[in-house]
Amino acid sequence: MPIQTTEKIWRNGNLIAWDQANIHVMSHVIHYGSSVFEGVRCYGQPQGSAVFRLPEHMQRLLDSAKIYRMEIPFTLEELCAGVVETIEANGVAPCYIRPIALRGYGEIGVNPKGSPVDVYIANFPWGKYLAGHGGADVCISSWNRLAPNTMPALAKAGANYMNSQLIKMEAEANGYQEGIALDVNGLVSEGSGENVFVVRNGVLFTPPLGNSALSGITRDSVLTIARHIGFTVTEQAIPRELLYIADEVFFTGTAAEVQGIRSIDRIVIGDGKPGEITKKISDEFFGIANGLKPDKFGWLTPVKVDASEPVTA
Ligand SMILES: Cc1ncc(COP(=O)(O)O)c(C=O)c1O
């Protein structure tokens, strides 16, 4: 789906016109993938709108930048304020927010240090990322996730998404909606843009970060919600075949939110219907995000935009 444009984009502390947020073809990021970014959602609520886990997302942006020795000339507070300013200037909610820090126009060599760091924040309407209520049909990808000590999986870097693109394109070419990748040792890692949870005999499992998974903010939200409800949750290595014999499997991610999976490699998961535990967790997640349940974990940052205007995705 083409991006629905908005009016303004935040660039290095100032709002500029959407059409003017351009970079030169010789920018370092174009050639070497030198960017780190975030994906954040702002939800519509009965009393306006709110960004979900904004400080956690912006802290991860700073962490990703730190791994790549990229100096961001803004504090966590300034970045959070930039997101709020952008959403309020555009008056668009609910929306998806894309902050990105990139190595701009400077030198052409691999060493990025001679190229400036530019920070942008855009927001735009974006609806459901994966299949709706029945659950997604997914496959195990023939592509592995990034090996440890190659591309750092904890950094949400643009370059990592070349691997994600291979996973996603292969899955769709073979008639699936998404692929789950294994790590280099053949253990479950994550989807092209989502973390994975497995439910078996009432216990939840998700791969630990050491299996080349991104430290998902939604993953953390689900771990918190599940423990709060009273479920046992373990972060442990998951062999591929545990997915096939699970009672429930679901994805988590800012784009995918909490998304049930109904088949993997055409093997039906459980009875092929949305599972009870997935449902309980997703009800709580959407209840908080949509302002219909108390924000008991302090996850929402209000923005002054009436959620009814002007567009929903
Ligand atoms: C590779 C990958 N894993 C997991 C996630 C989920 O992370 P989050 O819940 O923070 O969006 C994402 C999305 O950002 C991702 O791209």
Residues 189-204 pLDDT 10s: 999 999 999 999 999 9
* Contact in structure between 50 and 303 (CB atoms under 8 Å): yes
Report, as an integer, the average pLDDT of 229-256: 98
Whole-model pTM over 0.85 = yes
Spot the catalytic one: 66, 113, 156, 273. 156
CA gap 10, 200 in Å, rounded: 45
Q: For residue 190, how far is its CA from the centre of ligand 1 (angstroms)?
A: 9
311 pLDDT exceeds 60?
A: no
Ligand 1: which of 254, 257, 259 to mutate, most ligand atoms within 8 Å of CB? Answer: 254
Written as one letter, the residue type at 269 is I
194 Cβ inside 6 Å of ligand 1:
yes
Cβ burial, residue 292 (10 Å; 0-12/13-18/19+): exposed
DSSP of 200-248, one letter per residue?
ETTEEEE--GGGT----HHHHHHHHHHHHHT--EEE---BHHHHHT-SE
CA gap 243, 225 in Å, rounded: 22
* Contact in structure between 177 and 118 (CB atoms under 8 Å): no
Eight-class DSSP state of 185 = T
- Output the six-digit token pair for 165: 């693109």
Ligand 1: which of 57, 64, 97, 156 to mutate, most ligand atoms within 8 Å of CB? Answer: 156
Nearest CA to ligand 1 atom 5: 194
Q: Is 156 a catalytic residue?
A: yes
- Output the six-digit token pair for 263: 């088949």
pLDDT band at 308 (very low <50, low <70, confident <90, very high): low
Least confident of 46-55, 122-131, 264-273: 122-131
If we measure between CA atoms, which residue out of 174, 120, 110 comes closest to residue 9?
Answer: 120
